[in-house]
Amino acid sequence: MKRILLSLIGALFFAATMSAQESGLVSSTEYSFTETKVMPKMNKTTTRQGTMVFVSPDRLTMDYHQPAGDYTHITGDSFDVCKNGKVQHFPVKDPTNRMSLFRATLLYCLGGEVDKAAELNHAEKTFSNEANKHICTLTVENAAPKDIAMLRLEYDARSSRLLSLTITEGNGNYTVYALDRQ
């Protein structure tokens, strides 16, 4: 009984500690990042690199230098992506729109608001530790092929700084954003 009680207290302490340590990017700080997109069924992987600035709560600029000219820019009322010279403007007014949901999820995760990201995506939130990292995983059951099925946020165990964000789609494709503070 004593062992069970101590285990329960330890688990509650770990959960409380993880909630307190959820940390996003430092607002207005420039980060270098590498984006790796993996499409397992097509046996295809692409890598892009650039700089990212998140300004809490709703601004994000991701400017790529490999390939040069690509970008993702998010403001309070816009979501624009340029890839290979082609610019796409995604609607953000309708919160049920897939890209509007993705935009909000990305902003919540980068801002350290994983509870809001979990609620928005009807996801289950779990925590774990792995090699000097705290891991927060949000899992969505029965996600459609192009929708978010899982989010994995890795934090440095010492500083609580966000190290990487992995977004997995329902079709198994996933994108990893590995972040370095400049």
Torsion over CA: 127, 159, 28, 56 (sign)? positive
pLDDT tens for 46-92 read 999 999 999 999 999 999 999 999 999 999 999 999 999 999 999 99
Structure-token pair, residue 127: 């925590």
pLDDT in tens, 116-131: 999 999 999 999 999 9
Average pLDDT, whole number, for the chain?
A: 89
Q: Is the pLDDT of residue 17 over 50?
A: no
Sheet with 162-169, strands from edge to edge, namely 86-89, 78-83, 68-75, 59-66, 44-55, 30-39, 174-181, 162-169, 148-156, 133-139, 124-130
pTM for the model stands at: 0.86
Structural Rg of the chain based on CA atoms: 17
User: Is pLDDT at 19 greater than 60 in this prediction?
Assistant: no
Residue 5 has pLDDT above 50, yes or no: no
pLDDT band of 148, cuts 50, 70, 90? very high
Q: Is the pLDDT of residue 22 over 60?
A: no
Query: Which tokens hold the place of 34?
Result: 């590498």
Residue-level pLDDT at 96: 87
Distances in Å between the Cα of 94 and the Cα atoms of 40, 54, 147, 179 are: 31, 22, 16, 30
Give the integer Cα–Cα distance in Å for 48 and 40: 18
Which residues are CB-neighbours of 162 under 8 A, at least 6 positions away? 23, 24, 25, 110, 112, 153, 154, 155, 179
